[in-house]
Amino acid sequence: MDVWVKRYGRGVSEGHPGEAGGRSFERVAGELRERMASGRYPLNSLLPPQCEDLEAAKLVPSVEVRIRHTPLTPTFKLYVINGVEVLHGPYQVVERELALDSGEQVRALDVLGLGATLTHHVQDGDPDSAGSVFVSTMRNWYDSVWNMLSEAR
């Protein structure tokens, strides 16, 4: 099982995450982006051992987890499964409470990742079908970002 994950990169300037209402936006956005780009973000430390547990339990033959950081603002969730299926869903911007590393609670603009609606697309035998074109296009996009813009940390 190969798991490739792109994360926020440092230096990304975007409308989220950041404090709602425009108050101290850069201070809050900078701290939240730094947390996501660092190893302190839970996915960076939790995903590899969870995947390795699947291998140890003999549920998958082998596991390789690669996490890279990309200087792009994520606008959608994308899962490529076995190179022929795609789950895709746009992030919805929401306002919610976030805790900063200092313990301060702020009302922030963020994206709804957990619970985002995903659509399923399948590459079939027809290279011109909607599913095949969508899967191929999204795989090519992901590969180009992974290879041209992302860096390992």
Q: Which domain holds residue 90?
A: 2-152
Please state the pTM of the whole predicted model. 0.70
Best CA proximity match to 108, nearest among 43, 38, 31, 42 = 31
At residue 6, the 3 state secondary structure works out as strand
Res 34: pLDDT: 67
In sequence order, which residues have a C-beta less than 8 Å from that of residue 96 and are 6 or more positions away? Answer: 107, 108, 110
Alpha-carbon torsion 78, 81, 86, 88, what sign? negative
CA 109, CA 105: separation in Å to the nearest integer?
13
The predicted pLDDT at position 128 comes to 97
The whole-number pLDDT of residue 129 equals 97
Per-position pLDDT tens, the chain of length 153:
666 666 555 545 555 555 556 555 566 666 766 666 555 555 556 677 777 888 888 888 888 878 787 888 778 888 888 889 999 999 888 888 877 778 888 887 777 777 789 999 999 999 999 999 999 999 999 999 889 988 876
The DSSP output letter for 117 is: -
Domain count, the chain: 1
If one counts every other C-beta atom within 10 angstroms of the C-beta of residue 95, the result is: 11
The pLDDT value recorded for residue 35 is 63
